[in-house]
Amino acid sequence: MTTLPEPAPRPAADAANTGLVRSVLRSPRGAIVVAFLVVLILACALAPLIAPYDPLAQHLSAVRSGPSGRYWLGTDSLGRDLLSRLLHGGRSSLLGVLEAVVTLLIVAVPTGLLAGYLGGTFDRIAMRVAEVVMSVPVIIILLAVLSIFEHSMTSAMIAFGVLGSSGLMRVIRGSALAAREELYVTAAELMGLSRLQVVVRHVLPRCRGAIIIQASLFAAVTLGVQTGLTFLSLGPPPPAATWGGMVADAASVFNQDAWMLVPPGVTIALTVLAFGLLGDVVRDVSAEKYAAAPAARRKRRSGTPDTAGRPEPATDMLLSVRDLSVATDGGRPLRLLDAVGFDIAAGETVGLVGESGSGKTMTARAVIGLLPGNCRITSGQVVFDGSPVQDLDQRAFRKLRGRRIAMISQEPMAALDPSFRIGSLVAEVVRAVDGIKGKAVHARVIELLRMVEIPDPEAVARRFPHQISGGMAQRVAIAMAIAGRPELLIADEPTTALDVTVQAEILDLLRSLQQQNNMAILLVTHDWGVVADVCTKVVVMYAGQVVETAPTGEVFDRPAHPYTRALLLSSPENTHVGERIQAIPGSVPTPQRWPAGCRFASRCDLAQPGCTEGAIPVKDISEGRLSRCLRVDTLLGGEARR
Amino acid sequence: MKTEPLLQVEGLCVDYPVRRRRRFRAVDSVDLTVAPGETLGVVGESGSGKSTIAKAILGITPVTAGTIRFEGRELDPRRVRRRKPITDIQVVFQDPVSSLDPTKTVGHTIAEPLVAKLRREGGETGDVRRQVAEMLDRVGLPENAASRYPAQFSGGQRQRIAIARAFIVRPRLVVCDEAVSALDLSVQAQILNLLTDVQRDLGVSYLFISHDLSVVEHVSDRVLVLYRGRVMETGSAASVVQSPQHPYTRALLAAAPVHDPLRQRQRRELRASYRIEPKAAAPLGDSCPFAHRCRFAVDRCLQERPVLQPTGADGAVACHRHGELPSDAEDDVPREPRSTATGGSK
Ligand SMILES: Nc1ncnc2c1ncn2[C@@H]1O[C@H](COP(=O)(O)OP(=O)(O)OP(=O)(O)O)[C@@H](O)[C@H]1O
Ligand code: SF4
Ligand code: SF4
Ligand SMILES: [Mg+2]
């Protein structure tokens, strides 16, 4: 039997489109709102077919009767059936909303897109016009339109759409402006797509969420305005059924019969609410969309954290971390650090090395008490200068931070508030940590800037952050960090964002500051060259665990963990020119996928069956050397024989 | 006889407008050539004009002066605006996040340039799906990747997608602007190997821009060293890295830390010997752009602009004191990858 070839799956082009609609429908609020609007629109559209009576037919025998089997929603003062009037009136109301929204989109979307994408003269003119339109009084224009085109709701609604479009236009222009900077838009231009194609395919989809949100909110407002106008009988003249007109009728007899107000009032309120809610739902859904799909969660293993080489914190060290585990909060905690342990002696520089996702920054932040809000320490000890700090509250930590432990980060500019001068930024820190006032502060600021080898510190103190280079900004950040004469400086990738020449100067600076002040440094880095340059000891992390600890002098020649060795080999620097780089196959497992056995096993060339059976203990190899590998003897033995 | 260059850039100048109707020269009289199948590495600090050269070659920035020839034909620098792109030149950017459209599936992203090309040439688009699948396989992604969105991929995988998109139209030249800079070491190694493999299989040329000298040395046949928009030195990758001639190249090399504490200590001392009290940079003009940082500077360096002079085989250096400078002291240390680094365990 022959099988037909499967039809090709739908090209992906509109997958994103259907995706948004589907996700709106999948959320309960979205489903209810959409269902309500669909039923309402259908009912009104089909009013001539389904309405029980002619909306104008007067049943004088049943004037102002309440809801009954014959008249489901009752009748008005002229005995007209309210349900029928509601359905027929909805036609003009909803049609008016549709007219206004379509006008809004026709005007705002193309102008916004083109203004943002083309820029230049078109943009300037469009923005100027938008400003003018925004400043005109809407009601007066509408009244003027209605006095010219008497009782023509359509012209009023089109005018309202035009007047409302400037807001949406600005939103779309902003998105398009941002999209123009995206590299994928440049890439699309390079492919030879026309401007229009680029705009429609790559810029418009980005704005789709914003457009739907704005349009549905606008629909809500329009319905309000529309009923207002019909309430004032500025729309279709009576006796035509309109929602606003029904409210007006009911209002005139409110003292005798309050019920008449209920059917039109509730319908209008619910419809306005539904439009508004639709906007909300779309906003929530599009915020979630295009974010990474949640990775499949495995069942958590219940393995107990294995104990690090020496379970007790060292008391003779400046910082001693033992068995430190960090996990996310919530019903299904996800462990991010697993029994991390290392020591830093006074005046020592320890490198914390590993690839992204290995837990370097998390470790550094746990030490200084700055874990992200959804994470906490689940077990283990952090002992600073003989006293445990892992349970300190934020207030107690604040006494330590900036004074005894300080931190600098990868993005120096982020640490500097752009609205203050360098001098006052540093002065603020000096006042906080030294408790001094007046002239002394300025002297200390200049002294600190001089300590970080800034030429002409007086002039630099008067500048704003955006007026200095990245290297200079990192020097300022270091000046702020050392203001409290810390014993431990945590430097999280301090030179990653800098040029090699500037990096070399910053590393020189850290080295000399350390020697002058006997300051210890925990240096987070992924660059082995930086390790070789400044560190005395290395702690290598992989998938939330420390896999090796070694003196710098030994790790390069005799790595005691297959991961360390593989990482060193994967650098082009350690590869002969013309040869392939010995890349590590695969990738670092995410916390959801940490295996029960050795976390490096799937990528390790020494792996053997025992490696995947259970957690791998840390082994003491020699003085100051630890390795989390079952086959470390083979690794080092083979090395020795060669 | 030398082969006809694939890309030939002569006297390229690019100005950017800055405040008060002044112009800033980001690239100044740059000449370069790329032969078929060759990789030209471009190194330099941030702001030295590397990306600007790439943009000029891609036709996405206005060119002030100079000519760009591709396969002997002069390119219209405004061709992208005029919608006459050359699909033979493609690009891989640094940022794996912003270079892919988050609202399009991977399959769509990769297919788009091919479809655009086929439409332009009036070709059949029926075969696109098969070609996308083949390309995904070549860059080491699973076939089902085509129906997923970029957000579901890691940085390294996204860079593979960007490479697939560049290669699907079978370009002759691919500009890699810091294509591996944002990646982790082990991922960077995988991507560098991938770029080398694709080059070997498809015979493409690279203009490889990076600030990392060890990466550039590994992938490049020849290297161009750029500083403040001007070419300081060119030559074969081996000669520029092993025996740098220009004081700037030397400073750059001495600043890059090596994976060996002993050699690194010597490098640090060498670097200290180059260091001078920093002065404010003189405006570019008739002077050496490096003069304010150069330990060897003499009066002439501030008065006269050095021109490129040939050094050896096919190298050239722009320094007035070329030939007078002491040789670089780093040769004392054997520069061989360590034994650990060469032997894998078997
Ligand atoms: N659109 C622009 N307008 C004004 N100046 C610009 C513009 N783009 C770049 N420049 C300036 O031109 C110079 C060269 O920039 P370019 O981006 O080519 O440097 P680069 O070598 O690629 O640097 P990096 O390593 O940081 O990417 C820099 O001084 C930069 O500030
Ligand atoms: S324990 Fe086994 S799998 Fe893990 S690193 Fe050692 S040899 Fe490799
Ligand atoms: S020309 Fe002069 S200033 Fe420039 S690099 Fe040569 S010696 Fe130094
Ligand atoms: Mg660049």
Q: Whose CA is nearest to atom 25 of ligand 1?
A: B46
> Which DSSP string do the residues of A95-163 spell out, in sequence order?
HHHHHHHHHHHHHHHHHHHHHHHH-HHHHHHHHHHHHHHHHS-HHHHHHHHHHHSTT-HHHHHHHHHHH
Q: Which of B200, B212, B247 is nearest to B41 (CA)?
A: B212
Percentage, residues of chain A above pLDDT 70: 91
Question: What pLDDT score does B68 carry?
Answer: 93
- How far is residue A475's CA from residue A458's CA, in Å, rounded to a whole number? 15
Calculate the average pLDDT of chain B: 86
Q: What are phi and psi of A494, to 5 degrees?
A: -70, -15
Whether A541 and A339 have beta carbons less than 8 Å apart is answered as: no
Question: What pLDDT score does A307 carry?
Answer: 37
> Which DSSP string do the residues of A280-322 spell out, in sequence order?
HHHHHHHHHTTSPPPPPPPPPP-PPPPPPSS-SPPSSSSEEEE
Q: Which of A491, A493, A449 is nearest to A468 (CA)?
A: A449
Q: Which of B181 and B1 is assigned the larger pLDDT?
A: B181
Question: What pLDDT score does A287 carry?
Answer: 59
- How far is residue A179's CA from residue B98's CA, in Å, rounded to a whole number? 10
List, for residues A522-575, the tens digit of each pLDDT value.
999 989 999 999 999 999 999 999 999 999 999 999 999 999 999 999 998 888
Q: Whose CA is nearest to atom 22 of ligand 1?
A: B51
Q: Do A570 and B213 touch (CB under 8 A)?
A: no
Question: What pLDDT score does A536 carry?
Answer: 93
pLDDT range class, residue B114, cuts 50, 70, 90: very high
- How far is residue B309's CA from residue B169's CA, in Å, rounded to a whole number? 39
Considering A200-204, B19-23, B55-59, the range whose residues carry the highest mean pLDDT is B55-59
**Considering CB atoms only, which of B93, B152, B187 is closest to A183?**
B93
Q: Which of A540, A552, A475 is nearest to B265 (CA)?
A: A552
- How far is residue A621's CA from residue A549's CA, in Å, rounded to a whole number? 10
Q: How far is CA B174 from CA A152, A312, A578, B203, in A?
A: 61, 56, 20, 11
Contact status of B292 with chain A (Cβ, < 8 Å): no
Whether A33 and A281 have beta carbons less than 8 Å apart is answered as: yes
Do A90-292 and A319-390+399-411+476-636 show the same overall fold? no
Contacts of A439 (CB under 8 A, 6+ apart): none
Burial class from Cβ neighbours inside 10 Å (0-12, 13-18, 19+) for residue A333 reads middle
Considering A181-195, B51-65, B66-80, B281-295, the range whose residues carry the highest mean pLDDT is B51-65
- How far is residue A285's CA from residue A287's CA, in Å, rounded to a whole number? 5
Task: Show contacts of B126-134: CB within 8 Å, 24+ apart.
Answer: B129/A8, B131/B168, B132/B107, B132/B164, B132/B168
- How far is residue A478's CA from residue A46's CA, in Å, rounded to a whole number? 72
User: Which strand (E) or helix (H) includes residue A541?
Assistant: strand A537-542
Whether A191 and B112 have beta carbons less than 8 Å apart is answered as: yes
For residue B14, give the 3-state DSSP assignment: strand
Q: Whose CA is nearest to atom 2 of ligand 1?
A: B16
**Superfamily of domain covering A319-390+399-411+476-636:** P-loop containing nucleotide triphosphate hydrolases (3.40.50.300)
Question: Could you tell me the strand order of the sheet in which A335-344 lies?
Answer: A335-344, A319-328, A375-384, A387-388
Q: Are strands B309-310 and B316-317 parallel, antiparallel or unpaired?
A: antiparallel
Domains, chain B, ordered by start: 7-227 (3.40.50.300), 245-332 (no CATH)
Q: What is the second-level CATH architecture of the domain A90-292?
A: Orthogonal Bundle (1.10)
Residue A295, pLDDT > 70, answer no
Whether A359 and A531 have beta carbons less than 8 Å apart is answered as: no
pLDDT range class, residue A306, cuts 50, 70, 90: very low
Supply the ipTM of this predicted assembly.
0.84
- Which range, of A54-68, A181-195, A557-571, B168-182, averages the lowest pLDDT? A181-195
Percentage, residues of chain A above pLDDT 90: 26
> Given the CA of residue B24, which atom of ligand 1 is nearest to it?
5
pLDDT range class, residue A311, cuts 50, 70, 90: low
Q: Which of A207 and A338 is assigned the larger pLDDT?
A: A338
- Listed in order, strand segments (DSSP E) in chain B are 7-18, 22-34, 39-43, 65-70, 73-74, 89-92, 173-177, 205-209, 222-227, 230-236, 309-310, 316-317
Enumerate the domain spans of chain A: 90-292, 319-390+399-411+476-636, 419-463
Question: Measuring from each residue's beta carbon to the nearest atom of ligand 1, which residues come in under 6 Å?
Answer: B 16, 24, 26, 44, 46-52, 211
Q: Do A573 and B91 touch (CB under 8 A)?
A: no
Q: Which of A329 and B308 is assigned the larger pLDDT?
A: B308
- Which range, of A15-19, A292-296, A425-429, A631-635, averages the lowest pLDDT? A292-296
Q: Do B103 and A291 touch (CB under 8 A)?
A: no
What is the rounded (10 degree) CA torsion for A122, A124, A125, A129? 130
- How far is residue A24's CA from residue B83's CA, in Å, rounded to a whole number? 38
Contact status of B122 with chain A (Cβ, < 8 Å): no
A630 C-alpha vs ligand 2 centroid, how far in Å? 6
Residue A330, pLDDT > 90, answer no
The answer to whether the peptide bond before residue A239 is cis (omega within 30 degrees of 0) is yes
pTM: 0.74
Contact status of B144 with chain A (Cβ, < 8 Å): no
Q: Are strands B89-92 and B173-177 parallel, antiparallel or unpaired?
A: parallel
Token couple for A252:
């005139």
> Given the CA of residue A601, which atom of ligand 2 is nearest to it?
3
Q: Which phi-psi region, left, alpha or beta, contains residue B138 (left: φ > 0; alpha: ψ -120 to 50)?
A: alpha
Q: Which of A227, A252, A267 is nearest to A73 (CA)?
A: A267
List, for residues A142-169, the tens digit of each pLDDT value.
888 888 888 788 888 999 999 888 888 8
Question: What pLDDT score does A288 carry?
Answer: 53
Whether A483 and A429 have beta carbons less than 8 Å apart is answered as: yes
- How far is residue A440's CA from residue B188's CA, in Å, rounded to a whole number? 50
Our CA-based measurement puts residue B304 at a distance from the nearest CA of chain A, in whole angstroms, of 26
Q: Whose CA is nearest to atom 8 of ligand 2?
A: A607
Nearest CA in chain B to A502: B255
Our CA-based measurement puts residue B318 at a distance from the nearest CA of chain A, in whole angstroms, of 20
- Terminal alpha carbon distance of chain B: 45
Q: Which of A20, A477, A470 is nearest to A285 (CA)?
A: A20
List, for residues B141-168, the tens digit of each pLDDT value.
888 889 988 888 878 888 889 999 999 9
Question: Residues A40-59: what's their mean pLDDT?
Answer: 86
Ligand nearest to the CA of B281: 3
Residues in chain A with CB shorter than 8 Å from the CB of B295 are none
User: Which amino acid, B173?
Assistant: L
Calculate the CA A581 to chain-centre distance.
35
Whether A251 and A258 have beta carbons less than 8 Å apart is answered as: no
**Considering CB atoms only, which of A12, A470, A587 is closest to B147?**
A12
Residues in chain A with CB shorter than 8 Å from the CB of B256 are 500, 529
B62 C-alpha vs ligand 1 centroid, how far in Å? 14
> Which DSSP string do the residues of B86-112 spell out, in sequence order?
-TTEEEE-S-TTTTS-TTS-HHHHHHH
Cβ within 8 Å of A, B 189-248? 189-190, 192-193, 196, 211, 213-215, 217-219, 237-238
List, for residues B184-239, the tens digit of each pLDDT value.
888 889 899 999 999 999 899 999 999 888 899 999 999 999 999 999 999 999 99
- Which range, of A295-304, A442-451, B297-306, averages the lowest pLDDT? A295-304
For residue B252, give the 3-state DSSP assignment: helix
Q: Which of A177 and A583 is assigned the larger pLDDT?
A: A583
Question: Angle, to 10 degrees, between the axis of helix B247-255 and the axis of helix B261-274?
Answer: 140
Question: What pLDDT score does A19 carry?
Answer: 65
Residue B345, pLDDT > 50, answer no
Percentage, residues of chain B above pLDDT 70: 92
Nearest CA in chain B to A16: B103
